């Protein structure tokens, strides 16, 4: 069955937030960075080294938080408002060998093998075809008759568990 949908600004922004969750590697980096800072703070007798290390950690953390929660969400909203094609109607059809997407200016089959992983929450499904490049599918398409449970089963069968 083919289903028609469009992505709202709120869904587009939520998709970014879902895709920008801190990964296991990111958590390991922060944890490792914190351990190194604590170790330097304990071992070092130099006030300059201690304060520089703590300052670097606090500075990096603040820049990351400002980028993650202030600048990038503002930029994502600006991007959505700037590109007309984000607001156009799109069509999705589940096929045996993948998913067909169709819009005003595009049409194509995305084979299962080209989807590297997927994630979802209570409102959206994201299909990643590259790092940071994903298709946004709102779960509300189920109200239009699209079999969402079958779709998620196909994702699990062909790609694996969500990340």
Per-residue pLDDT at 1 exceeds 80 = no
Q: How far apart are CA 87 and CA 162, in angstroms?
A: 27
Residues 122-135: tens digit of each pLDDT: 999 999 999 889 99
Confidence at 68, pLDDT banded by 50, 70, 90: confident
Residues 79-136: tens digit of each pLDDT: 999 988 888 899 999 999 999 999 888 899 999 999 999 999 999 999 999 988 999 9
Ordered by start, the domain boundaries in the chain are 1-163
Would you state the structure tokens that stand for residue 111, as one six-digit string? 């084979």
- For 41-69, b/e burial (b = at least 16 CB within 10 A) is eeeeeeeeebeebeeebeeeeeeeeeeee
Average pLDDT, the chain: 91
Per-residue pLDDT at 73 exceeds 80 = yes
Q: How far apart are CA 75 and CA 117, in angstroms?
A: 25
Residue pair 109/97 in contact (Cβ under 8 Å)? The answer is yes
Q: What average pLDDT score do residues 45-57 get?
A: 90
Write the secondary structure of 111-155 as one string of H (helix), E (strand) and C (coil).
EHHHCCEEEECCCEEEEEEECCEEEEEEHHHHHHCCCHHHHHHHH
Residue pair 30/142 in contact (Cβ under 8 Å)? The answer is no
Confidence at 15, pLDDT banded by 50, 70, 90: very high
Going 129 to 131 to 133 to 135, the CA torsion angle's sign is positive
Confidence at 159, pLDDT banded by 50, 70, 90: very high
Q: Rounded to 5 degrees, what are φ and ψ at 95?
A: -115, 170
């Amino acid at each position: 069955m083919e289903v028609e949908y469009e992505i709202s600004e709120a869904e587009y922004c939520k998709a970014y937030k879902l895709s920008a969750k801190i990964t296991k590697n990111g958590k390991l980096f922060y944890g490792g960075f914190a351990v190194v800072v604590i170790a330097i703070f304990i071992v070092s007798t130099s006030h300059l080294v201690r304060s520089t290390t703590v300052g670097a950690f606090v500075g990096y953390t603040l820049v990351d938080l400002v980028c993650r929660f202030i600048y990038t969400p503002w930029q994502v909203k600006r991007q959505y408002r700037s590109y007309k094609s984000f607001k156009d109607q799109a069509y999705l059809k589940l096929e045996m060998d993948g998913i067909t997407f169709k819009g005003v200016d595009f049409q194509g089959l995305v084979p299962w093998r080209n989807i590297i992983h997927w994630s979802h929450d209570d409102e959206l499904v994201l299909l990643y075809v590259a790092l940071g490049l994903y298709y946004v599918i709102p779960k509300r398409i189920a109200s239009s008759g699209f079999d969402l449970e079958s779709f998620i089963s196909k994702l699990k069968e062909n790609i694996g568990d969500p990340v």
